[in-house]
Amino acid sequence: MKIAVVGATGLVGREMLTVLEERGFGQEEVMVAASPKSVGKKIGFAGRELTVQSVEDVIAARPQYAIFSAGAAASRQYAPLFAEAGTTVIDNSSAWRKDPRIPLVVPEVNIDSVTRNQQSATSGRIIANPNCSTIQMVLAISALQREYGIRRLVIATYQSITGTGIKAVRQLEAEERNLPLPTEEMAYPYQIHRNLFPHGGDFQEDGYTTEEQKLVDETRKIFADPTIQITATVVRVPVVGGHSEAVNVELRKDFDLEEVRRLIAATPGVILYDNPA
């Protein structure tokens, strides 16, 4: 198998390579691509070094799969070119999440949407994956949607600065050491060390931020139910790695709390901790 990772030098791209190695893809042909300034750099993978190539060269090599984490602009530019070359693109950015032609997939929840969507040959080779907070939430409540139907969600997230990228990590580290940091190198306009603020993404006219809007739009698309009422508050917290969420779920049907616990505990990928003692 030939697999490309686009955006491989970034925080998420490097994590993708780690996961590929952990999942047993170490012996496959893995190609790494990044921006022109990174071409020629070396990245360690499965005991060997990979040379960063240009995106154009990787497209020409026609890999079977391209995993993208290079930002929305790069995804919009290059994902269709990979698809035209016969590559299946799995995109980690926000570029395609709202596109009705593109399936938005959490494999444990709605893998069937990959084959259910009727698409063109190009768009049919692009698969979007959701925002990180959406992924973990829909996985945890997917059995409740299937069994009872969800009427309403009230969500508060406490999101790691890692979700903003390497720039945020460097800002936090500098602030922890009380080191000066030029404004242009800061990910946030405020101190994040020993602080938190309800500001993820950009504010919209209705007062919600784009990070909050993603939880609304993506959850409805993944569950194929535009009638679910959703409100969300996103809070950024000074933690490296790991998002937390408090979710109030209103169901459409009567439920038994013990059955709810059983359904959540039985969901693949979810571990239920519910023993206050």
What pLDDT shows up at residue 117?
60
What is the DSSP secondary-structure string of 29-50?
A: EEEEE--GGGTT-EEEETTEEE
CATH of 133-265, one of 3.30.360.10, 3.40.640.10, 3.40.630.30, 2.102.10.10: 3.30.360.10
**Closest to 201 (Cα-Cα) out of 156, 240, 242, 164:** 164
Q: 3-class DSSP state for residue 226?
A: coil
- For the chain, count helices (H), then strands (E): 9, 10
What pLDDT shows up at residue 160?
95
What pLDDT shows up at residue 103?
95
Tokens of 95: 């570029």
Radius of gyration of the chain (CA): 20
Q: 3-class DSSP state for residue 150?
A: strand
**Domain 2-129, CATH class in plain words:** alpha beta
C-beta neighbour count of 10 within 10 angstroms: 19
Q: What percent of the chain has pLDDT over 70?
A: 97
Question: Same topology for domains 2-129 and 133-265, yes or no?
Answer: no
The string of pLDDT tens digits covering residues 222-252 is 999 999 999 999 999 999 989 999 999 999 9
- What is the C-alpha to C-alpha distance for residues 127 and 119, in angstroms, rounded to an integer? 11
What residue segments make up the domains of the chain, in order of their start? 2-129, 133-265
Q: Give the pLDDT of the chain (277 residues) as one tens digit per residue.
A: 999 999 999 888 999 999 999 999 999 999 999 999 999 999 999 999 999 999 999 999 999 999 999 999 999 999 999 999 999 999 999 999 999 999 999 999 999 998 876 555 566 899 999 999 999 999 999 999 999 999 999 999 999 999 888 899 999 999 999 999 999 999 999 999 999 999 888 999 999 999 999 999 999 999 999 999 999 999 999 999 899 999 999 999 999 999 999 999 999 999 999 998 9
What pLDDT shows up at residue 67?
97
Question: 0.85 cut: is pTM over it?
Answer: yes
Active site amino acids? 132, 243
Find the Cα–Cα–Cα–Cα dihedral 100, 101, 106, 109, rounded to 10°.
Answer: 80
What pLDDT shows up at residue 121?
57
- What is the C-alpha to C-alpha distance for residues 275 and 277, in angstroms, rounded to an integer? 5
- What is the C-alpha to C-alpha distance for residues 48 and 25, in angstroms, rounded to an integer? 13
- What is the C-alpha to C-alpha distance for residues 114 and 117, in angstroms, rounded to an integer? 6
